[in-house]
Amino acid sequence: MPTVDQLAGWAETYGMTTVPVLGFTEADISSLDGLAYQIEGDLYIPTMYTIGRDMTVLAADDMNTDPSSYLGN
């Protein structure tokens, strides 16, 4: 599981320091019905979802590292 420092490093590398960057926990991957298997279709890292202010999914795994194009920033 990623540490906070690893997630922060990933965010810095991809220029995503103004949006939340999340990682799975052990519980998320411990069984086939865990959260990781529900939202991670190809089990390939990284998976990037862009979620709007109203919590709708704007993009799923499109490898776009600039969320401003979806958020109007």
Q: Looking at the domain assignment, is residue 58 inside a domain?
A: yes
Q: How many domains does the chain have?
A: 1
Phi, psi (deg, nearest 5) at residue 69: -65, -25
Buried b (16+ CB within 10 A) or exposed e, 3-31: eeeeeeeebeeeebeeeebeebeeebeee
Q: Looking at the domain assignment, is residue 72 inside a domain?
A: no
Q: What is the pLDDT of residues 48-59, one digit of tens each?
A: 778 888 888 888
Which helix (H) or strand (E) covers residue 69, if one does?
A: helix 68-71
Domain of residue 45, residue span: 4-64
Q: Looking at the domain assignment, is residue 71 inside a domain?
A: no
Q: Looking at the domain assignment, is residue 70 inside a domain?
A: no
Q: Looking at the domain assignment, is residue 73 inside a domain?
A: no
Q: How long is the chain?
A: 73
Q: Model's pTM, two decimal places?
A: 0.57
Q: What is the pLDDT of residues 4-58, one digit of tens each?
A: 999 999 889 988 888 888 888 888 888 888 887 777 766 666 777 788 888 888 8
Alpha-carbon distance values, 13 to 16, 62, 66 (Å): 8, 17, 12
